[in-house]
Each structure stands twice: as C-alpha cells, then as structure tokens.
C-alpha cells in the first residue's frame, strides 16, 4: 500500500507545533496540519508489509498492539497517497465513527505496531487520519445519518463519553430510537471535561453532537440516572438500556493532611477549568486556582500531564510532577520487542512546556507523597515527599514500590492534584439497575456486555473494562451497539460504515 518505495524516499514529517512558550498563553489547539501534498507523501511511506500489525488491535504481553477498531490502515494510507480523499473517508468510516477525536488524543497504537517503525520512524497514521476526517467535514462528506426506516425499538444510553456516543451513532444507523442521558450540563463526558481544550477543542465535540441530533439522536442533559432520574423510568420507557458512565471513581491518597484545602482530584480540577472557560466563552480564565502557586501533580499518566499543562496556562509559579515507578528506558529493551507497545519514556506536551518555562523536566520518578502539611487556616502549605525503590514480592508475583527510610523531603506547595488513576465505576449507577461489580470495581457482564435485568441492561466502555483509552471506549461502544441490536432484532447487520 502507498508508494512501494515511499518509505525509502521520504522521512517522517509531522505537522507544525506551536513552541511551548507561545502556546501556554492560551487554551487553543497548537498542532497544525501539513499541506495536503506533504500529507500525501507521508501516506506514501506506508509499506506493502504483508502483515499489517497496525490494524491488529489484539493484546501482546498484556498491552494492545495495533488499532482496537481494526481500521483498514494500509488501505486508507494508500487512498490518501493517491489523493482520493473522499474514498479514504468512506474507508475510514467503515470501522470508525468518531475519528476526529482519536486523531487528536489517541496515543496511536497503530503507529507503535507499524512495520516501518521497526527500524525507523513509523508512518504518521494518526495525522493522516486527522487529515482525512477534516477534509471530509470541510467538503460536506460528513452528513446527518437519518435511517430510512425506524425499527420502533427505543434504547437509552447512559453517558455521553466516547463509548456512549459511538454506541448511539451505530444504534441510530440501525433505525433504533436513541436517547442519551448525561448528568453534566454539556454532552461529551471525558471528551468534554476530562481532556483540556488545547488537546481537544470543544468545538470539535459540538460539531459531532449537532450531527447526531440532526440524525435523530436525543440528548438529555443534567440527567443523573440513578439519582435525579430513576432507573425504573428508563426500564419502563425503553426496550434496552446501555450503561456507559465511565470509570469515574478516583484513586485517593490515604496520607496525613489529606483534608487540607488545596488537595484536589485531578479530574475535578480539569472539569472546573474547562467549565469556567466554556461558561465565559473563553473570555475568563480561572487563574485564581493556580496563579503564583507551587503546584504538585501526583501521577505520571496522561491526566497528570494534562494537569501540568493546565496549571502552567493558569500562571502557576512552578509545577512538579511525581511518578511512583522508575524512569522507563529511552529505547526498547529486548524483553519489549516490536510490535508490542513500547514501554519507553515519553515526554508529552505538558512536560515539554514545563521544561521550557522552568528549565528542567518537571517529573520526579520513584517518588510519592508521605504527608501533606497545613497552615493554621487548614490550607495546604507543603508536602512531605519520600523516595521509593522497587522490591519483588515473590508471594504476590509482582514488583512493589516501598519507601526508602530517611529519604523524606518537605517541599512547599499550595495546590496538589491527585492524578493517580481510577478504581472503576461509581457504584450508584450500576446498583440502580441491579448490576454487580467485579473485584476490580467494574460492572460485571457477559461477553456481549449484558449486565442482567433479563437481558435488557448492557454495559460498555470504562465501566466494563476499567480506565482505558478513548479508542478502546469507542471500540467498546461499537461492540455494545451490535450486541444490543442482536438482542432486539435477533441478528445484527451493524458491520458497515455510514448510511
């Protein structure tokens, strides 16, 4: 696929990125597209590799290898190379209903498994995907999908994150009448309030929601199912219910001083910032949250990185990010061969910005908080950090991180953001439908995602698999739509693209 010798003739080239010192002045997206001709050259690098691991989407050594949506990556790249943008969109849309999101926030599992990346730089598949979907939007190819026939079946989708949106799109295509219930004031779930605007502009979400509404999908906002909206109402009014409420129960820190004013969960902080920006149409930044403060971010993942970038944009004096685990290697080790997901150090946009502004990488590895210190008014003034070292627990069969005695250090901070991951679904929603939780805090379900109630209640996304990537949530939503469709109709033909 692509130009047979393209990978030999062209090097990888990514779209231009605004320099850190400039982009931290606002909350706008800072990745610009390549010119169309250059994007075609990037697609030409796709090799005729024989076995396209990029579209495999299975697990190798416990990690995903390739796209969980099984996007037809070589075919799409070939069409981009040939300048057949419309056909490239139609091919992409056969497997993917929300590519404008993954092309911005996905870590590109496809690229990590690219054969071209075995001995060089992988094909820029994510940017090719973004070019395809933005071409499709700008040329009127992405249109409302109004099914020619309605089945008479009604489905309630609880949660408007990526899993819920994907399921709603596919179920509506089939002709079912879909209502999406969202407890927040705006639709989008994690996409709206869990991901900062500079990473995913919220107008991109609004654009998709408008299309879905024009397709006949109804959104009910400020509707907290299981609390303000009884589960009994949905069971009485709808033929099937799909729970896609995410894994929103954050992992806490049980340390002295945790109750200090200024110690917050990262997701609450990111939500407050985005809501303030949207409520003021980006005219007012909630700078009082961070301006002039020393900020401590606890957690080295994507959410932690987003907190670093957000705090810098709100005028933080200094940002430090803690990571419990050791620093990953700079390159693959023999125990982590291609096409496994590369367990190597990644310096993301927020860390790049902190390094540019502060003169050094903000991360401190093998470090955690031992205690928080309060002033007389109960406000956070400092944190006691402690170094960690790995120890193999043979009984448990895993490595644990234990404190190093005498390594304690007190550092000043006035805001601490806990970004230590999530522990699964909030219990009240599945409990309202009589669905059980498994040992990991996820909703227990069968292989089709059915969670009980005589086969009428299904579950998808992070509520079923635990905290994961947007691309996995979309894949879960599509699979759940097929399962719900089969349960309603006795079979499913949801295996093709848009109407």
| pLDDT, tens only, 44-87 | 999 888 899 999 998 888 888 999 999 999 999 999 999 999 99
State the burial class of residue 400 (Cβ atoms within 10 Å of its Cβ: 0-12, 13-18, 19+).
exposed
Is residue 467 in some structural domain? yes
Domain boundary among 418, 435, 452: 418
Instruction: Identify the CATH number of the domain in which residue 97 sits.
Output: 1.10.1060.10
Chain segment 432-481, per-residue pLDDT in tens: 999 999 988 899 999 999 998 789 999 999 999 999 999 999 999 999 99
CA–CA gap between residue 178 and residue 342 (Å, rounded)? 39
Chain segment 135-185, per-residue pLDDT in tens: 999 999 999 999 999 999 999 999 999 999 999 999 999 999 999 999 999
CA 408 centroid distance within chain: 34
Is residue 466 in some structural domain? yes
Q: What is the Rg, in whole angstroms, of the alpha carbon atoms belonging to the chain?
A: 23
Q: Share the mean pLDDT of the chain.
A: 95
477 and 447 co-located in one domain: yes
360 and 478 co-located in one domain: no
314 and 376 co-located in one domain: yes
Q: What is the pTM of this model?
A: 0.95
Is residue 430 in some structural domain? yes
Is residue 494 in some structural domain? no
Count of domains in the chain?
Answer: 3
Chain segment 264-277, per-residue pLDDT in tens: 999 999 999 999 99
Domain residues for the domain of 118 are 6-138
Judged against a pLDDT cut of 70, whether residue 235 lies above it is answered with yes
Share of the chain above pLDDT 70, in %: 99
Domain boundary among 395, 418, 441: 418
Judged against a pLDDT cut of 90, whether residue 293 lies above it is answered with yes
33 and 124 co-located in one domain: yes
Domain boundary among 85, 108, 138: 138
Is residue 496 in some structural domain? no
Chain segment 338-384, per-residue pLDDT in tens: 999 999 999 999 999 999 999 999 999 999 999 999 999 999 999 99
CA–CA gap between residue 256 and residue 324 (Å, rounded)? 18
261 three-state secondary structure: strand
20 and 72 co-located in one domain: yes
61 and 131 co-located in one domain: yes
pLDDT confidence of 499, banded at 50, 70, 90? low
CA–CA gap between residue 314 and residue 185 (Å, rounded)? 23
Residue 364: per-residue pLDDT: 98
CA–CA gap between residue 413 and residue 348 (Å, rounded)? 23
28 and 121 co-located in one domain: yes
What does the block give as tokens for 216? 């006949």
307 and 341 co-located in one domain: yes
Instruction: Identify the CATH number of the domain in which residue 174 sits.
Output: 3.50.50.60
Is residue 225 in some structural domain? yes
Up-side HSE of residue 154: CA atoms within 13 Å toward CB?
11
Residue 499: Cβ within 10 Å count: 13
200 and 342 co-located in one domain: no
Judged against a pLDDT cut of 70, whether residue 497 lies above it is answered with no
Is residue 149 in some structural domain? no
102 and 198 co-located in one domain: no
Is residue 144 in some structural domain? no
Chain segment 319-336, per-residue pLDDT in tens: 999 999 999 999 999 999
303 and 352 co-located in one domain: yes
Residue 215: Cβ within 10 Å count: 19
434 and 411 co-located in one domain: no
Chain segment 91-132, per-residue pLDDT in tens: 999 999 999 999 999 999 999 999 999 889 999 999 999 999
């Amino acid at each position: 696929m692509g130009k047979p010798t393209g990978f030999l003739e062209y090097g990888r080239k990514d779209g231009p990125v605004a320099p850190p010192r400039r982009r931290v002045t606002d909350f706008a997206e800072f990745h610009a597209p390549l010119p169309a001709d250059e994007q075609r050259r990037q697609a030409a690098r796709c090799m005729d590799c024989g076995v396209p691991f990029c579209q495999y989407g299975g697990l190798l050594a416990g990690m995903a290898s390739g796209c969980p949506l099984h996007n037809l990556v070589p075919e799409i790249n070939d069409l981009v190379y040939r300048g057949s943008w419309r056909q490239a969109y139609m091919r992409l849309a056969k497997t993917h209903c929300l590519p404008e999101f993954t092309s911005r926030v996905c870590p590109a599992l496809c690229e990590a498994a690219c054969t071209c990346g075995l001995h060089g730089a992988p094909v820029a598949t994510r940017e090719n995907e973004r070019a395809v979907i933005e071409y499709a939007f700008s040329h009127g190819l992405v249109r409302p999908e109004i099914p020619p026939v309605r089945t008479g079946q009604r489905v309630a989708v609880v949660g408007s994150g990526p899993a819920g949106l994907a399921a709603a799109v596919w179920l509506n295509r089939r002709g079912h009448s879909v209502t999406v219930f969202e407890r927040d004031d705006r639709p989008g779930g994690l996409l709206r309030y869990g991901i900062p605007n500079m990473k995913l502009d919220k107008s991109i979400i609004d654009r998709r929601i408008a299309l879905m509404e024009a397709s006949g999908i109804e959104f009910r906002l400020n509707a907290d199912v299981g609390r303000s909206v009884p589960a009994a109402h949905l069971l009485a009014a709808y033929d099937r219910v799909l729970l896609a409420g995410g894994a929103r129960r954050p992992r806490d820190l049980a340390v002295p001083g945790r109750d200090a004013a200024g110690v917050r969960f990262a997701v609450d902080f990111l939500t407050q910032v985005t809501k303030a920006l949207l409520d003021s149409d980006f005219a007012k930044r909630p700078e009082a949250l961070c301006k002039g403060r020393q900020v401590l971010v606890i957690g080295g993942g994507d959410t932690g990185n987003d907190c670093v970038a957000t705090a810098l944009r709100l005028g933080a004096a200094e940002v430090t990010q803690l990571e419990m685990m050791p620093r990953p290697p700079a390159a693959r080790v023999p125990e982590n061969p291609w096409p496994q997901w590369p367990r190597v150090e990644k310096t993301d946009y927020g860390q790049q910005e902190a390094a540019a502004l502060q003169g050094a990488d903000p991360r401190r590895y093998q470090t955690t908080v031992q205690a928080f210190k309060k002033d007389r008014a109960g406000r956070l003034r400092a944190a006691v950090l402690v170094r960690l070292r790995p120890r193999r627990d043979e009984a448990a069969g895993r490595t644990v991180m234990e404190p190093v005695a005498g390594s304690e250090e007190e550092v000043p901070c006035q805001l601490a953001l806990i970004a230590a991951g999530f522990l699964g679904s909030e219990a009240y929603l599945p409990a309202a439908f009589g669905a059980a939780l498994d040992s990991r805090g996820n909703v227990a379900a069968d292989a089709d995602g059915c969670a009980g109630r005589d086969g009428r209640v299904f579950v998808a996304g992070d509520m079923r698999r635990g905290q994961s990537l947007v691309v996995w949530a979309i894949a879960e939503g599509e699979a759940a739509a097929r399962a719900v469709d089969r349960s309603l109709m006795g079979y499913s033909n949801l295996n093709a693209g848009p109407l």
